[in-house]
Amino acid sequence: MLTAVLLYLSILVLIGTVRSRRVKTGDDFLVAGRTLPARVLVFTLLATWIGSGSLFGGAGLGYRAGFPALWQSAGAWAGIALVYFIAPRVRRIAQYTVPDILELRYGPTARVLGTVTTVLAYATIAAYQFRGGGRLLALIAPVDPDTGALITMVFCVVFTALAGMLSIAYLDVGNGTLMTVGVTLAVIFMVGDVGGLGAALAALPVQHVSVFGTLGPQASLALFLPTMFLLLGEANMYQKFFSARDERAARLAVGGWIVGTMVVETLIDATGILASASTPGLTDAQSEEIVIRVATDVLPDFMGVILVCGAAAIIVSTANSFLLTPSTNLIRDVYQRFINPDVTNRQLIAYTRAIVVLLGVLGYIAGNFFPTILEMALWAYTMYGAGITPALLGALLWRRATRQGGVASIFVGMGTTLAWEVVGRIRTVDGVPGYLFGLETAYPALALSIGTLVVVSLLTPAQSEEEAAPLLGEAR
């Protein structure tokens, strides 16, 4: 299996190297020259979203909790469904980053705060892709997970720096297809191996086939909300919309994306759920490796190879996007905006590549501060979902949102996430975070961010027609 993975990744590097020769301008590197058709957008959106958070965190939760684990996936489905209605407007704005949009409505302070929030959240998401890659390598090769994470980081950094969005988007077509085929074959095999779907479901504990199961409504909603709010403001998604050929391509891509996400995430979780009956007794950390364990220990060799290669491809695809987006934010929203507005295309590409390397190293270090991939994912989702999304949606959809309200919302959402999580970690007992009032971070962070946006906006003077026109002028 290691040979197959190395061969597939070598092909990716070769193709990325060839496509890197087509990068001539900053637009080519950052937004693929704004040329991507809907069929390419669908796969790059799917391959970016389905990463280690789903492959390890989601499947591991499915192993432990059963079908109630789909509450996390359902947050993504709801978020994408709502995004369908704003995708054309985002493409029409034709910017490069989410902080670009924030500044259009709320001013330069919002741009800076949005960049800080994005870098914190996305460096964490990239970090758990490295950890996921480390676990994958540890299961198929004689390397320890930390060394495997370092190898994954180096590969993803080099690959991302080669050709940016122009390379990533087209390679994601193959990556997304391979992962879909791999998990489909895995579920079909495991269901058939126990005598059909009825027998497979009958082998599960009753809580695993209920609505909330052992999670309960509060924990289920704490999975749903961060995921939904991340998707509504997800910077990778917006950057890919900016890369679309036109508004119609952006909207068509979202329609295909929601179908693909529902199918693939359900199959990934189902892999963990079905494997809980055939491979019982795994610890929380071991359960996050269940998809790879199924590939190595349960499936026939050829199916296992497809699944492992698909898993490796998805980890790389997601890491690439979550390295490129915050790097784009730093170079455009800080360096070009405030330090060197006249940066050349050659400098822009070179500096973005350097930042990709820096964020990769920082992400690798940050990955050691969380015990599980799922906890890393939920923290990052909440940081971004509470810090960015309310202000971003207000900028796009609410005429009464003001500059003061938007800035305050970003600051409060980001600050609450940091403070609440730090206190919860300090009060951890037996591996369970001691959150204040028993509330997971998503609840106070989202409530305070949304409340701040509304209250401060209503207490401050409404923006003029001229100030609101860049985002709302065509929508009134």
pLDDT in the model for residue 295: 93
pLDDT in the model for residue 29: 56
pLDDT in the model for residue 475: 43
Residue 285 has pLDDT above 60, yes or no: yes
CB within 8 Å of 437: residues ≥ 6 apart? none
- Coil vs helix vs strand at 474: coil
Pair of tokens at residue 211? 């609505």
Task: Give the CATH fold of the 2-371 domain.
Answer: Sodium/glucose cotransporter (1.20.1730)
Pair of tokens at residue 20? 């890197």
* C-alpha angle 379-64-224 in degrees, rounded to nearest 5: 40
Distance CA 470, CA 139 (A): 51
Contacts 24+ apart (CB under 8 A), 19-22: 19/162, 19/163, 19/166, 19/167, 19/170, 20/162, 20/163, 20/167, 22/163, 22/166
Which stretch of 125-139, 199-213, 395-409, 428-442 has the lowest confidence by average pLDDT? 428-442
The answer to whether 269 touches 62, Cβ cutoff 8 Å, is yes
Averaged pLDDT of the chain: 85
Residue 56 has pLDDT above 80, yes or no: yes
User: Taking residues 321-347, what's their average pLDDT?
Assistant: 86
pLDDT in the model for residue 30: 55
The answer to whether 452 touches 422, Cβ cutoff 8 Å, is no
Residue 314 has pLDDT above 90, yes or no: no
User: Taking residues 448-472, what's their average pLDDT?
Assistant: 88
The more confident residue out of 436 and 172 is 436
User: Taking residues 263-282, what's their average pLDDT?
Assistant: 92
Exposure string over 23-55, b if 16+ CB within 10 A, otherwise e: beebbbbbbbbbbbebebbbbbbbbbbbbbbbb
CA distances from residue 155 to 7, 13, 158, 356 in whole angstroms, order as listed: 13, 9, 5, 12
Handedness of CA 133, 138, 227, 230 (dihedral sign): negative
The answer to whether 446 touches 386, Cβ cutoff 8 Å, is yes
- Give the pLDDT band of residue 276 (cuts 50, 70, 90): very high
Distance CA 34, CA 166 (A): 9
- Coil vs helix vs strand at 310: helix
Instruction: Delimit the domains of the chain by residue range.
Output: 2-371
Provide the strand spans (E) within 43-181.
none
Distance CA 104, CA 108 (A): 8
pLDDT in tens, 110-155: 999 999 998 989 888 888 899 999 999 999 988 999 999 999 999 8
DSSP secondary structure string for all residues of 81-116: HHHTTTHHHHHHH--SSHHHHHHHHH-HHHHHHHHH
CA distances from residue 140 to 304, 315, 362 in whole angstroms, order as listed: 11, 15, 26
Handedness of CA 102, 105, 111, 113 (dihedral sign): negative
pLDDT in the model for residue 324: 83
Exposure string over 115-153, b if 16+ CB within 10 A, otherwise e: bbbbbbbbbbbbbbbbbbbbbbbbbbeebebeebbbbbb
- Give the pLDDT band of residue 52 (cuts 50, 70, 90): confident
- Give the pLDDT band of residue 476 (cuts 50, 70, 90): very low
User: Taking residues 421-440, what's their average pLDDT?
Assistant: 81
Residue 210 has pLDDT above 80, yes or no: yes
H helix and E strand count, the chain: 23, 0
pLDDT in the model for residue 37: 80
User: Taking residues 254-277, what's their average pLDDT?
Assistant: 91
- Give the pLDDT band of residue 90 (cuts 50, 70, 90): low
pLDDT in tens, 185-195: 999 999 999 89
For the beta carbon of residue 393, count every other beta carbon within 10 angstroms. 18
Residue 246 has pLDDT above 50, yes or no: yes
- Using a pLDDT cut of 70, give the percent of the chain over it: 89
Residue 16 has pLDDT above 60, yes or no: yes
